[in-house]
Amino acid sequence: MRFTTVLFYFILAIIVFASFGVSIPFGLESMSNKSHSIVDLIQNVVTYFIAIYASSCVDLILKLLDKTVSYRKLAIILIIFSVVGVLVLTIYILHWNSASNFPWLIKWLAIGVAVSWLIWWLAHYSDDAFNPNGALGGTTQKKLSNG
């Protein structure tokens, strides 16, 4: 049940609502009979995956700092490497996008989107917000705070 809840949230919030920054400009261009600029589309997709990726990294780091986990230092180092890698990927995409229109940038965009979605799953799959018992008052496994 938890997986289904997270999956539907992911589809609705991350894929549908978060992609409005990509789909709305495309729709407005279509309604006004303007030509679609691949350069603008690439920039919009970069903005889309960077926003998801960055907010998910922050959530992941906050979770690691809140809880005592044995792999905390390794996870933070991996996140830092991931951030540097995505930053380099983003600069690479935006540089080649502004320099000229290369169709192979689409595969790099797909990698960026896939990485941002993966980081989102890692950051949010275990959230208590997606606990099916949460709507019923929370989990019964949690210790009481009043003693």
The pLDDT, as a whole number, for residue 143 is 66
Where are the domains positioned within the chain?
2-130
Contacts of 139 (CB under 8 A, 6+ apart): 128, 131, 133
Q: Two tokens at 124?
A: 């949010």
Q: pLDDT tens digit string along 115-147?
A: 999 999 988 888 777 766 655 555 566 666 665
Answer whether 0.85 is exceeded by the pTM. no
Q: pLDDT tens digit string along 45-93?
A: 999 999 999 999 988 888 888 767 777 888 888 889 999 989 998 888 8
The pLDDT, as a whole number, for residue 70 is 76
Contacts of 27 (CB under 8 A, 6+ apart): none
